[in-house]
Structure 1
Amino acid sequence: MSIYEHFRPEERSLIDHFLDLKDQVIDHYTPKLTDFLDPRQQTILKSVIGGEEEIHLSASGGYEHAERERALLLPSYFEEEENSFQLSYLEVQYPAKFGSVSHPELLGALIGTGVSRDKLGDLLINEGRAQFVCAKELESFFMLNLTSVGRMAVTCVPITRQDLIHSEDEWQEHDGTVSSLRLDTVLSEIYHLPRTKASEAISRGFAKVNWKIVEKRDFEICEGDCISLRGFGRSKILSSGGLTKKNKIRVQYGKLK
């Protein structure tokens, strides 16, 4: 069975990229460091590498339980070093008494400098503080070019890994039933919305599956998918399968507290 059959057609190019990295490490004995990967991409990479004995695979996003991480593919006899992942940690300083910085605002400001999302790790917002993780080569760039977030004037300063503010996500588990695993149907169940309202939100680009905007109402949801809907938070499908007496599909999902 081909590895492509385990994933969606639109993920084929990513699989090809990971297969190419794998071949480079094995054939040329060259370490390879990826950009930041979301959890779905990390899952695909692990599947591609599999139990390959010639490659040592590890990942880091700067702290335990980081969502976005860079992956390092090493020939089996190489040793990982402390700075192997080339991460930088930056704090966005601003006058908190005059306002606050939100996650969407900070992400928008960072992307607005022209930097790809792939070069950015987690954004950490907590009690008047804002931080983010990025590729090391962009540290000085952000210190010079990140001067505002929304209408707030800011400065960007480097911090240590130990200074990062973070906490592990807490998921609240729920059981439900759906008539199908279409995106609009699943959103309706999870967020207790009329299906018409869920469909409208999808068509307006408010829904994401595995961190990518999906605008097809009939997009098929799979076990393990992470789903978010603007204004309603994030959830993930923990399991699906089995039918009720009314031929509905049983699903178990988690919602961020």
Structure 2
Amino acid sequence: MSVFSRVQSMAATILVNPNRGLLSNAVPNRNFLFLQCPTFRPFSLSSSPIPSDVCQVTHATKNDMDVLLKGISDRSLVEQIKHILDMANRASLRREVLHTDFLTPPILNEAMAALKKLADVNAIPNGGYLEAERCRLSVGHPEVLRTDPDTVAALSITGNFGYQPPTHGDFLGSILGTGIAREKLGDILLQGEKGAQVLIVPELVDYMISSLDKVGKVPVSCTLIPLEELEYEPPSTKTLKTVESSLRVDAIASAGFKISRSKFSDLISKGDVRINWNTVTKNGATLRTGDMVSVSGSGRLKIGEIITTKKGKYAVELIRYL
């Protein structure tokens, strides 16, 4: 085994071995009754002709890894994607299914793109509900990973929040205060006075039920609920239109976020702007219908219908998430 392979294997072991994770070795595995909630269809390229940029997992080399990682726009994510690819390699070779912790949208997006280049791997993201942002990723050989695995559990956190409903940060801070690591948690769905619903890895359900007794100063109780009882409300949006001479991100998005074009360019320079969860590095990046632009601290903007006017300009529909 090459030095590269040994390093990759060690890194993957650290990522996927639950006994290395915070608290996971203190909480025994248990079986919980909760319903499956498939969020994506699995993909497999094993039955299709293999193009030149698709790698056979069983013969992965350093050059293959370079091919798989080609095109990742945010270089800070490379090591994490390498870990996931190595996990996929091990899962395929051993005919087993392995799961990541909850991944952020940028990591999930890049990992899915890289995994599609593998010829004998299925990959299924699951965040507990259809539009979840933070998802776990299950990988395995197509012969063993055929259906969505149960990798996510849901908890309802209730308390007397009638006077001042807690924020997302209040719930997150209280949960992390019990010692549970952030990567073991998925989305937190606020329910106003009722409290919140939280997605979590199943093996930490009992620990959280016994450990989380307050959010802020309000006593709370945690209850395991089926995924089908999640109460997700789509975010509020506002639709507006702009007419621009180009589809450059600095032109379109600055209009959508209602900030000056020069200030938006500064945000790009600082790495605060993403298109489809990928960091933007150039003002001249162009947008298409369906693209999602996010700006740190300012929210998200979806690009709707684009129509070319008689004068050769672009009338763009913008959907701003409030």
Using the size of structure 2 for normalisation, the TM-score is 0.60
Instruction: Tell me the residue number matched to 1:37.
Output: 103
Greater fraction strand: 1
Report the CA distance between 1:20 and its aligned residue: 0.8
Residue number among 299, 304, 315 corresponding to 1:233 in the alignment: 299
Letter in 2 for 1:65: E
1:108 and 2:108 matched: no
Alpha-carbon offset, residue 136 of structure 1: 0.8
Shift of 1:197: 7.4
Q: Distance in 2 between matches of 1:221 and 1:149?
A: 43
Conserved? CA contact 1:38–1:211, under 8 Å: no
| 1:31 shift after superposition | 1.2
Report the equivalent of 2:58: none
CA positional deviation for 1:133: 0.5
SS in 1 for 2:112: helix
Pick from 235, 251, 254 the counterpart of residue 319 of structure 2: 254
Whether the aligned pair in 2 keeps the contact of 1:222 and 1:237 (CA below 8 Å) is no
Paired position in structure 1 for 2:37: none
Q: How many residues align?
A: 247
What does residue range 13-28 of structure 1 map to in structure 2 within 5 Å? 13-28=79-94
| Distance of 1:239 and 1:12 partners within structure 2 | 33
Secondary structure of the residue that 1:227 maps to in structure 2? strand
Q: Which runs of 5+ in 1 are unaligned?
A: none
> CA separation in 2, counterparts of 1:33 and 1:18?
9
Equivalent residues in 2 for 1:153-164, closer than 5 Å: 153-164=219-230
SS of the equivalent of 2:174 reads helix
Does the C-alpha gap of structure 1 residues 226 and 123 become closer, same or farther in structure 2, counting only changes over 3 Å? farther
CA RMSD of the aligned region, Å? 4.1
Task: Give the match for residue 47 of structure 1.
Answer: 113
| One-letter code aligned to 2:294 | I
* 2:232 aligned partner: 166
Partner of 2:157: 92
Displacement of 1:235 in angstroms is: 2.7
Secondary structure of 1:167's partner?
coil
Aligned-residue sequence identity (percent) comes to 22
CA distance in 1: counterparts of 2:293 and 2:162, whole angstroms: 35
Structure 1 residue 92, shift from structure 2 partner: 1.0
Q: Is the alpha carbon distance of 1:146 and 1:196 closer, same or farther for their aligned partners in structure 2, counting shifts above 3 Å?
A: farther
Residue 139, structure 1, aligned to residue 205, structure 2: yes
| Matched-pair contact (CA < 8 Å) for 2:275–2:292 | yes
Tell me if the contact between 1:180 and 1:249 (Cα under 8 Å) persists in the aligned partners: no
Once residues 124 and 98 of structure 2 are traced to their aligned partners in structure 1, the CA distance between those partners, rounded to angstroms, is 11
Unaligned runs of 5+ residues in structure 2 are 1-52, 54-66
Aligned equivalents of 1:145 and 1:12: distance in 2? 35
Larger of the two Rg values belongs to structure: 2
Native 8 Å contact 2:247 2:286 kept in 1: no
2:69 partner SS: helix
Relative to structure 1, the CA distance from residue 171 to residue 46 in structure 2 (aligned partners, 3 Å threshold; closer, same or farther) is farther
Corresponding residue of 2:17 = none
1:151 aligns with 2:217: yes
Rate the CA distance shift 1:211–1:156 in 2: closer, same or farther, 3 A. farther
1:119 to 184, 198, 209: 184
Provide the rounded CA distance (Å) in 2 between the counterparts of 1:117 and 1:143: 17
Taking a change above 3 Å as real, the CA distance of residues 59 and 30 of structure 1, as seen in their structure-2 partners, is: same
* Distance in 2 between residues matched to 1:61 and 1:35, nearest whole Å: 10
TM-superposition CA deviations, 1:158-215 (whole Å, max 9, x none) = 2222221113446555555589756xx877433213578779999999x675899x9x
Tell me the TM-score normalized by structure 1.
Answer: 0.73
Distance 1:91 1:211 in 2: 30
In structure 1, distance between residues paired with 2:218 and 2:86: 43
Deviation, 1:157, is 1.9
